[in-house]
Amino acid sequence: MGFSSALQGRAAHEALIVRQDAELRLMETMKRSIQLKAKCDREYAIGLAAVAQQGMKTDRADEMQGSLITKAWRSYMDELDHQAKQFKSNAELLEVVCEKLTHLSQDKRKARKAYQEEHAKIAARLNHLTDEVVRKKAEYQKHLEGYKALRTRFEEHYIKSGRGGRKLDDVRDKYQKACRKLHLTHNEYVLSITEAVEVEKDFRTVLLPGLLEHQQSVQESFILLWKNILQETSQHGDLTSDKFKEIQKRIDNVINSINPSEEYREFTEKHNYSLYRTSPTTPLVFQFDDALIEDIPGKLQSNTLTVDNLTVDWLRTRLIDLEMSVKECQEKQLKMIEHANGGSPIANGSIARNGSTASNGIQSPKDSQNRQSKDLNALRCQEKQKQKLVDMIKCALNEIGCEELPSGCDDHLEQNFIENSFNNDQQQNSATSTNSTGVSIINELRRRGGVLTLLRGRPFKRKSTPQPTTPTVNRMRTQRFNKLQPRSQSLGSLSMSLSTNRPLYEEEWFHGVLPREEVVRLLNNDGDFLVRETIRNEESQIVLSVCWNGHKHFIVQTTVDGHFRFEGPPFPSIQELIMHQYQSELPVTVKSGAILRRAICRERWELSNDDVVLLEKIGRGNFGDVYKAKLKSTKQDVAVKTCRMTLPDEQKRKFLQEGRILKQYDHPNIVKLIGICVQKQPIMIVMELVPGGSLLNYLRKNSNSLTTRQQMGMCRDAAAGMRYLESKNCIHRDLAARNCLVDFENSVKISDFGMSREEEEYIVSDGMKQIPVKWTAPEALNFGKYTSLCDVWSYGILMWEIFSKGDTPYSGMSNSRARERIDAGYRMPTPENTPPEMYRLMLKCWCAEAEARPHFDEIYNVVDALIIRLDNSH
């Protein structure tokens, strides 16, 4: 039984402080007693020496020559003198022991103070968050009252004024501001509750037990040193007579019975079993006060973040701040782990040396390890708390997806005003026989676009995207570094390139912002090289990448006068610098020895950013917006996915993963890659434009006109595409109607390969975040193991979506509930008008055992045979 399990209560904490105070007082008593004993021994030594000196003064000693009695007496007096010297030496050693006890007392006071400060620190954070929750709730109530008052005032002015006016505009502005404040306060209240729950849990289960466990280790270290001091005190008082031997034996037995690990047993048991028993701290419950939002229909929900046009910017800013805090915690943890592995001790105080006596340092290796573990636990708790908030905000933002942001104002007011105004118009029309000359409120609302237009101000007008005016240089890609003439001959195509003074991004060997992983893949032989751009600390840098005993990357240095160099002479342009390194055959740097031999030019699917003209935004993805665009060179309409420039390199690599997979596939039921644009920011993936758009939206829009034959054809198209992917060992991992596109004549193409992996089996190592639970096979959810048979399960869900004409799978169930039901054997019922053979195929795709599911080749043959039989029957 230890401190961490028995001393968590407030009373136990105070008792531990009292115990430490009592120990400090005992140390002071011991110190005074040892000082007094040393003084007595010193005085006794002086008296004994005086006795021996006095005994030597014998009268007429010459008369006693040869006397055995005289000789024995003199020997006796000599031994008394030796005994006096021994007592003096023991007194001096007791003073050293007393000094050690003084240092031990000082270190114990420091340890007591450190424990109190640490305990107060972790308790203060919990108290602070508790007060913060109360304060946020009070703010919530305040803004809620203001919001209600302004909403009522706005409704009254709007009904009275009818067409509007300056006064109505002022009331509308105040109401909108109150609405914004209420929503922001709501989010702050939800976040503060979430954080308080995490902090309280960590205080009770990690931080406080860790602090108490560390304190127990420190206390036991003091007991061990205390025991050593008592042993030294005992040794310095040890006499040789039988009488004192018996006393000494009893003292030794008592002292040797001291066991540091048993020192606090009685103390802890007393507080665990006595009438004043201290049980673990009772968890504090933090709950959202639902009474705050009882009369606000639909907008604000308890324990749920509100994402709308009033709060989205604040949420994104808060998300960035929290992610930075998580990163800082992770860096601190890494430093602590590296420090611990390096064997550097963490000093916590020690007893100073005195003469030749060894130092009695209280910080043993065990103590150091315990303290490191305690501090590391505190950082991990802090990281987990912040990550909880990060996940909550990300989840709220991800739910919006590509949809329009909802308005923060009360949309339902518009309908109420319209209905009330329409009733007023009817009453006015019935009271008069002629047409009213005034404009009715209902017509005015329709003319202005509804009450929400009044609330939000003027309608937003989209600015047209300016078209680039500079034509793209269209040149043949035959003049490449790898086709240069021998070095002894002319400079070949490179000299021609230099004479044109064209910008760097037009050079075939310049690969733009292509990620390093792609660069390494292109450079295979010693001497292969290319030039690229990288962004560091929001600054652009040009990098020369060379394959030479591995892969080396050299940043092009810029001189004061704007020239470029490595270690050699500077040149006015990067092209001339690269030509110099290539032609001279000199190493880029002496240390690397890397020599340029063969320039690697852009691959055919690396397009120029200037060759793509963005026309209109048609959606939004995880990494950026999706546009309809046109290629200048071919006038072809294309779809373009863009990657936000502010994303970190890791996210940009994930963005380009889809392009890297698609570039090698060619199948009519797989969306085709046209190219990627990495010369400039933003990075773009250019794909064929599939006119029908998302299969999910197509199913919902055309639910009344779709025939069974068309639905079966869609299933066959999807099976054909997946059969092709399975033959390429590609696991899609996100097959669903939302990730399929519809071409002419209802032809379906598989799209969105952002989660795909080119492996026979893929094990998730980065967690299960953003996994489409209702489309994912049980073995992938439970064990993180993906195979092509997991895509078969998802294909069964896709079939269900097609025949339900776009319904949501497991409707009415949360992800966790659906997962529980599936593990228990539940399978969705057949959609209406689904052929029995197709539903039986769905059930086969949903077999709990992956090996029992059909492969896509078998699925395609079954669906194709069913379509042929259906066609023949007609």
Catalytically active residues, by annotation: 734
3-class secondary structure, 397: helix
- Name residues whose C-beta falls within 8 Å of residue 93's C-beta, 6 or more positions apart in sequence: 232, 236
Structure tokens at 450: 């509804």
Residues in Cβ contact with 402 at an 8 Å cutoff, skipping those fewer than 6 apart:
619, 620, 621, 626
Query: Where does 632-730 show beta strands of DSSP type E?
Result: 637-642, 673-677, 684-688
Beta bridge partners of 549: none
Q: Which CA distances in Å does 167 have to 158, 174, 248?
A: 10, 11, 100
Q: Using alpha carbons, list the distances in angstroms from residue 10 to 281, 704, 772, 852.
A: 8, 68, 46, 59
Amino acid (one-letter) located at 351:
I
Whole-angstrom Cα distance, residue 534 to residue 31?
69
Q: What is the DSSP string of 258-283?
A: --GGGTTHHHHHHHHHSTT--PPPPP
- Distance, in Å, from the CA atom of 837 to the CA atom of 854, rounded to the nearest integer, reads 14
Residue 750: helix, strand or coil by DSSP? strand
Rounded CA separation 310/406 (Å) = 9
For residues 262, 267, 269 and 273, what is the CA-based torsion angle, rounded to 10 degrees?
Answer: 170
Question: What's the one-letter identity of residue 232?
Answer: E
Residues 493 and 499: beta-carbon distance below 8 Å: no
What is d(CA 109, CA 116) in angstroms, rounded to the nearest whole number? 11
Residue 465 makes CB contacts below 8 A (sequence gap 6+) with 614, 615, 616
Query: Pairing state of beta strands 606-607 and 673-677?
Result: parallel
In the DSSP assignment, the letter for residue 670 is B
Judged by phi (left if over 0) then psi (alpha if -120 to 50, else beta), residue 462 lies in beta
Whole-number Cα distances in Å, 422 to 168, 373, 429, 445, 587: 20, 70, 11, 10, 84
Q: Which of 757, 756, 713 is nearest to 868 (CA)?
A: 713
- Give the residue among 470, 556, 544, 559 at the shortest CA–CA distance from 510: 544
641 is in an annotated binding site: yes
Q: Which residues are annotated as a binding site for ATP?
A: 641
Q: Which residues are annotated as a binding site?
A: 641
